[in-house]
Amino acid sequence: MTRSVKLILGAWVLAIIAGIAWVGIEISGGAPSIGGPFTLVDHNGKRVTDQDFRGKPTVIYFGFAYCPDVCPTSLLLMQTGVDQLGPQAAAKVNLLFISVDPERDTPAALKEYVAQFGPTMVGLTGTQDQVAAAAKAFRVYYQKVPSKGGAPYLVDHSSIFYLMDRDFRFVKHFTHQAKAEDIARALKPLL
């Protein structure tokens, strides 16, 4: 073989090895690491962890009660999706609203807030650190936006639904542009 042919072959071998290594990373990365252990406080003031939600599939949404439009629309969508599976379905699913605004979203405030969407929805809050850890586990972004002219501050946040199975393992996510039917369809086999 000429030197140039050897070089070309060598380059191919390197490219193939790199390709195999990449595929290996993709496979070992397999299930995306979304979700993880968290400790928060529910809307009755009780300390809860992710372990408390095992046994039923779970739909999670992160937001804040003062949110003017996206959060209310999203929580309504989450509740509607579950209700499409029948009148008893809500009792068989954990519907969690995790606050990214623990400063204002006290357990009492959340209790009143989530009750507007459905009787089984659970509001979760905690210390700043607890909320930050839960958000990190779900790769949720949030950032307080300073208020102008004395208006209440807002919290910029990602708007994603997370569907977890009965073992609290991540199944899939939806954006708030999903339809209630999409959520119902994904939830049905997990019931």
The least CB distance from residue 168 to Ni ion, in Å, is 24
Nearer to Ni ion, 61 or 168 (CB): 61
Determine, following the binding rule CB under 5 A, whether residue 135 of this chain makes contact with Ni ion: no
**Which of 176, 181, 177, 143 lies closest to 161 in space, CA to CA?**
176
H helical segments located in 30-106? 70-83
Give the CB-nearest residue to Ni ion: 67
Q: For residue 6, which amino acid is it? A: K
Instruction: Tell which positions 37-96 bind Ni ion, by CB under 5 A.
Output: 63, 67, 70-71
**Which of 113, 165, 155, 114 lies closest to 131 in space, CA to CA?**
155
Nearer to Ni ion, 57 or 157 (CB): 157
The least CB distance from residue 26 to Ni ion, in Å, is 33
Nearer to Ni ion, 132 or 154 (CB): 154
Instruction: Tell which positions 164-183 bind Ni ion, by CB under 5 A.
Output: none
- Please work out the total of residues on this chain that contact Ni ion, with binding judged by CB under 5 A: 4
Determine the 3-state secondary structure of 151 from DSSP.
Answer: coil
Residue 75, CA atoms < 13 Å, CB-side half-sphere: 26
Q: Rounded to whole angstroms, how far apart are CA atoms 147 and 95?
A: 30
Q: How many residues does the chain have?
A: 191
- Residue carrying the six token digits 């997990």: 190
The least CB distance from residue 171 to Ni ion, in Å, is 23
Nearer to Ni ion, 80 or 158 (CB): 158
| Dihedral sign from CA coordinates of 82, 34, 74, 185 | negative
The least CB distance from residue 64 to Ni ion, in Å, is 6
Residues that bind Ni ion (CB under 5 A): 63, 67, 70-71
